[in-house]
Structure 1
Amino acid sequence: MSSPEQWTHPEPGVGPAATAAAPTAEQVIAGLRATSEGGPELVQLLTPEGERVPNPEWDRYVADITADDLRGLYRDMVLTRRIDREGNALQRQGQLGIWVPLLGQEAAQIGAGRALKPQDMAFPSYREHGVAWCKDVAPSDLLGIFRGTDHGSWDPIAKRFHLYTIVIGNQVLNAAGYAMGQRFEGKVGDDDGEATMVFFGDGATSQGDVHEGFVWASVYDAPLVFFCQNNQWAISEPTERQSRLPLYQRARGYGFPGIRVDGNDVLATLAVSRWALSECRHGNGPVLIEAFTYRMDAHTTTDDPSRYRLTDELEAWKLKDPIERVRVHLVRHEQADKEFFDSVQAESDQLAAELREFCVNMPDPPKERIFSQVYEDGNPVLAAQRDTYLSYASGFEGGDH
């Protein structure tokens, strides 16, 4: 019988690793089993059925979480999902050029986002709408990126949340440099120290920028948490086609710890993220977290996931829905009633309506801005290009074109 480890590390005589274009049926079955189980090293505090799993090693990091806090985490995930679904709908209706869904990854992002302290810095990729929510970035501030009118309209220093990065993995180098600066400036060493967390997907681990970030952070003991959301698919390529080892084990080769957490378990993700940030804040160097989760929607709204993955796989992961397991836990322990759930639903409806109204009424930026925002100081060549373009564009104003 094939096992998840044999999918990438076959025993002698079992068969080749999945490096060929067409894996065997046995390898496919083993791969699916691996994505559904997560392996024995998976940190989990809340099962898909909403049952609390005692874990002395990790319980202490969430010992202060009250029923009210858990309701707050539930609310965060529900509102984040509603932001995501509204963004998806707005793109389908022509209001956005593209949208990057996070459906299914709410627990990974909220758990990590709520572990960040006000002084901590976060570097996102382009899918971290939940982390943005935790960093008090207004959901409307995200829309300009996907409408093509700006690169993000928040102050990254004030929010301690960098602008979205579209180039795969590039934010890891930015984060490594920032965290090295925190180290050089002596901002680590105690509970009040600073740390940085950088978010990327499993596909980004195949990019050189990520590995260079690992090297620099490691040799300089940078206070950097590498937070990999392994949603099982790098667009159309499964994780098993990218790594012969579980992703969290890659940290070992760079000399810092790696850990795999159930990314659909907001409580476990919060605990592991708190620990990792504390390690970095106290000057103990970088940490790699692999949040084992699943992308339940397309990679972006330009993608068709039905072309490369099985419906059975998606249905299996729906049973591990990160929001549902918290809802069931709250109901089972009588920590939330119908009034609470109705209020969260009403709040999400209001948020969606506000987001839609903002998006539909967003003004187009002035044409001159594509020139004024290129260089801090102008130059004659750019000025000439601007004047020529604006003169040309003015001929269409009020016309039929």
Structure 2
Amino acid sequence: MPEIQRLDSRHGDFWKDLDQLLRWESVADHGVRAIVDEILVAVRDEGDAAVLRYTERFDRLRPGTAAELEVPADRLRAALERIPAAQREALELAAGRIRRYAEHQRMEDWQIEEPDGTVLGQRVTPLDSVGLYVPGGKAAYPSSVLMNAIPAKVAGVPLLVMVVPAPAGELNDLVLAAAAIAGVDRVFTIGGAQAVAALAYGTESIPAVDKIVGPGNIFVAAAKREVFGTVGIDMIAGPSEILVICDGETDPDWIAADLFSQAEHDEQAQSILLSPDAGFLDRVAQSMHQLLEEMPRAEIIRTSLAHRGALVRVRDLDEAVRVANHIAPEHLELSVADPQALLEAGLRHAGAIFMGRYTSEAIGDYCAGPNHVLPTSRTARFSSPLGVYDFQKRSSIIQCSPEGAAALGRTASVLARGEGLVAHARSAEMRGE
């Protein structure tokens, strides 16, 4: 069977061992940052010329001009027509579910009027433009296109620019079809840090955007971190994670497959099972041994489980809740008889929570409706899934009546003078004189 660490909350070093298991180094070392910084400066200063140079160097693609990197809209529509009917149906079904869920997330304007006629409120507007990074080449992630693009469009973003690398000219029809379904406005075949730089700074051919979202490799993540402030970003994502809490009554094959579903992403992914039933942990370990050889990505799964996986015995489900809150996982499965009771027992920190034995995390990755772009590396303690609200911004509304200006002006004057800001005080006072 694949090697996997065993932990027991009864042991004195449990919390120390758990923290060691959870530790993950940040997105980039100094060497990666140096390369990324060089690319960012070149694209900012040289525009299209630098984009073309790096596209040839990293993607073995030599267009005559940067304008040739743009994928025509009719090619997106052609890809949608070309893919098998079952794939198109699945994409459209998933897109519909994601869109319906996203529509519940829209923030709205509001205003209140106080007795003296002063009006306070909130004005909500969409971002003007968003850039979506999609991994390319051998990887094909149409689900990422849907999950990132649809909430932006539901929010009302008028310009959504997708970048996707096309090594040696290779583009995936499923990704292009997903872009057509999601309403992406423009698509460019560029990738890496140079794509992030082009979206952040703009070039002669590629428009600058206000926010960059979407997954990418270590160079993309490092570039997003560096351009934050010039543009907004969604998050700096770490490796995929799943935490399963099980009472010991679920089919162990199901739980083994759930753990594999994240471990197969890459060698740094993390899969952890918590259960008070030691015998069940043994049965899951046996299922993992039996199922592993069926997996095309068996070596990645094996490495992931050996480096960062764990089967954890806890005293009871209440303790499992405490451990889960400490881990703050990206994905949390509650594979128990009464998941609602467990949820209400104090669970606070998780990107997405999958309720009950029949709800696999994989459903959430593709078509349940909620977003699969989730906080990782314990950041669910203070952040949330990607949603429509990430593509909207709020402006405060303040309108004073004459009476309100006089009353509030007196309060503001006292506070401003206390801070030594006399011009602030006089500005507030004058309207009440």
TM-score by length of 2: 0.23
Task: Answer 1 or 2: which has greater strand percent.
Answer: 2
Larger Rg, first or second structure (1 or 2): 2
